[in-house]
């Protein structure tokens, strides 16, 4: 009897109810938040520790052109914190890895002071590098490169 009383007290504390339907005509209690499922009004963006993977490149290298023009906050919300970051100016650019940045900021055209932020995410077998610039409205994606981790530049 003591066990039954303890079980009933525990069930009451945990909010458990009888699996038998109510016979007195009263309505059953509303389902818990867990039983209702996810709230559709809550954003589905990854939490800060979560990283979305873009998937490996289709060849040795590839681009994620859909990211061009995306703001820094949206980029970090989608992919999480990068594995590595660095900043440089176009005056200190470019090796073969960064050569496409010259398409926007050609050398000798007064772009030496333009600051670039480079974010790289490392995944299993491949990497994603994104270059951001501030065209006057905040940091946004300028260019991307998705490449296998054995590719040499």
Flag whether 113 is in a domain: yes
Q: Which of 86, 123, 91 is nearest to 107 (CA)?
A: 91
Flag whether 104 is in a domain: yes
DSSP run (H or E) holding 153: none
Residues forming a β-bridge with 45: none
Flag whether 118 is in a domain: yes
Measured between alpha carbons, how far is 83 from 85 in angstroms, rounded to an integer?
7
The 10 Å CB-count burial string (b at 16+, else e) for 100-133 is: ebeeebeeeeebeebebbbbebebeebbbbbbbb
List the structure tokens of 95.
């090796």
76 is in which domain, residue-wise? 61-148
**pTM exceeds 0.85:** no
Looking at the 3D structure of the chain, how many domains does it have? Answer: 1
| Each residue's pLDDT expressed in tens, for the chain with a length of 153 residues | 444 344 344 334 334 444 444 444 444 444 434 334 333 333 334 444 567 899 999 999 999 999 999 999 999 999 999 999 999 999 999 999 999 999 999 999 999 999 999 999 999 999 999 999 999 999 999 999 999 999 998
Look up the CATH number of the domain holding residue 73. 3.30.1450
């Amino acid at each position: 009897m003591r066990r039954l009383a303890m079980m009933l007290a525990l069930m009451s504390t945990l909010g458990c109810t009888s699996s038998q339907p109510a016979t007195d005509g009263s309505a059953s209690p509303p389902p818990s938040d867990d039983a209702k499922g996810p709230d559709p009004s809550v954003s589905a963006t990854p939490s800060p520790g979560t990283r979305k993977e873009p998937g490996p490149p289709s060849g040795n290298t590839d681009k994620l052109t859909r990211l061009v023009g995306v703001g820094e906050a949206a980029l970090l919300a989608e992919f999480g914190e990068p594995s590595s970051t660095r900043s440089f100016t176009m005056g200190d650019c470019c090796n073969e890895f960064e050569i496409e940045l010259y398409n926007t900021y050609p050398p000798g055209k007064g772009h030496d002071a333009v600051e670039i932020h480079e974010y790289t995410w490392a995944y299993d077998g491949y990497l994603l590098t994104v270059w951001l610039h501030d065209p006057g409205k905040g940091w946004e994606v300028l260019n991307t490169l998705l490449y296998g981790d054995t590719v040499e530049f």
